[in-house]
Amino acid sequence: MVEKTGYVLLDEQDELKSFREAFYTGGPSIYLDGNSLGLLSKRAEQSLLESLQDWREHGIDGWTEGTHPWFTMSEQLGERLASLIGAKKEEVIVTGSTTVNLHQLVATFFSPDEKRTKILADDLTFPSDIYALQSQLALRGLSPQQHLVQVKSRDGRLLAEEDLIAAMKDDVALILLPSVLYRSGQLLDMKRLTKEAHDRNIIIGFDLCHSIGAVPHELSEWDVDFAFWCNYKYLNGGPGSTAGLYVNERHTKRTPGLTGWFGSNKEKQFDMNHVFEGADTAGAFQIGTPHILSTAPLIGSLSLFEEAGMKRIREKSLQLTRYMMDEIERELKAFQFAIGNPLEDERRGGHVCLLHAEAARICKSLKEFGVIPDFRAPDVIRLAPIALYTSFTEVHEAIQILKKIMTDKHYEKFSNVREVIA
């Protein structure tokens, strides 16, 4: 266990400490909500300003000229993202939003027949994913109540992979699971689950929103069929940042379920034919014109990940969350807190799930003391120390502030009800 003064030594030994200077860290506050919205980096700001300058100086010619030509921006960023998820450059594209990309992928890969009519998911996944699955079933005239199978958690926090595998029945056509559960931070074994699905001839895809940028992946090696994610959490692409998707090269020549002109073969896109001729890469799964100003910050942000490397980022992330859990165990034992995430490194994503019956009001109190957490109903305080900009000293100070809040019962001044945005 790390000694109380160990955070000073940990910061001194931190190989990634210099990256903190690349971010606007919010002055005196301790930001532990990077799993909801990552902080702005100076490089992301610069690449956005450069795209604005391209617009100012080139007008319509910004599509092909300037610092960051817009016409190929999505493909170039997809190539750079590929290394973060263990994919080939042709398998990744930056496009759309998380839920739009999910609709695209389900519309493409869900092909019910007389035998297989069901979609398998879980009952802990992010609600937007379930809404999309329900609507895709309804569009095909299938009852979501009957054809969406949601594997239940045994304890309301974690998923048993054995239960997920047992639910892979002969009537399942498609599986969608989170890589990391958004409340508890549980990291699923995507390699194992993909093999089990493929052994049963079932298509499987993953929502990577809470793992990309915090956890290395090997999607191509694991033979995952598809994946999608947002880029505004650990990847620091900014609020509403354009999202991303992955399609295994086995499927990239498949006609997308939802076609649009930006999915065209780039050489033929401006032929303006009324017959869709798609790209033979993941680029085919684009729909409309890219949101350039919501994409440009990724240009700068990804350069930080390329320099730091996912191996070092994951190592520090695990160190930070381990140190945080040790501090919680040492300092908060008397205050009825429980750790809700898996303790094992290989089963934990990038955040700590702290459970308490008064979680909503404790989060409000933390914010008043300059610690920015995240609340998830009914009793979860999510604390995400981020490898590129959170120090061990900040983790130590945040837990000391939380201890003072509990000792002084400062949280009692607030109602135990979430704000409009938790």
The binding site for pyridoxal 5'-phosphate consists of: 98-99, 126-129, 207, 210, 232, 261, 289
Three-class secondary structure of residue 382 per DSSP? strand
In a 13 Å sphere around the CA of 85, the CA atoms on its Cβ side amount to 37
Query: Is there a cis peptide before residue 378, judged by omega within 30 degrees of 0?
Result: yes
Report the C-alpha gap between 229 and 248 in whole angstroms: 15
Q: At what angle do helices 297-308 and 42-58 cross, to 10 degrees?
A: 140
Residues 6+ apart with CB under 8 A from 333: none
Report the C-alpha gap between 128 and 148 in whole angstroms: 14
Report the C-alpha gap between 109 and 251 in whole angstroms: 9
Report the C-alpha gap between 102 and 322 in whole angstroms: 33
Residues composing the chain: 422
Residue indicated by tokens 């000694």: 3
- Residues contributing to the annotated binding site: 98-99, 126-129, 207, 210, 232, 261, 289
Report the C-alpha gap between 53 and 62 in whole angstroms: 9
Picking from 327, 226, 236, 235, the residue whose alpha carbon sits closest to that of residue 282 is 226
Under 8 Å between Cβ of 356 and 336: yes
Report the C-alpha gap between 238 and 353 in whole angstroms: 24
C-alpha dist (Å) from residue 411 to 83, 88, 199, 342, 364: 43, 49, 51, 27, 7
HEC states along 322-333?
A: HHHHHHHHHHCH
In a 13 Å sphere around the CA of 302, the CA atoms on its Cβ side amount to 21
Under 8 Å between Cβ of 356 and 380: no
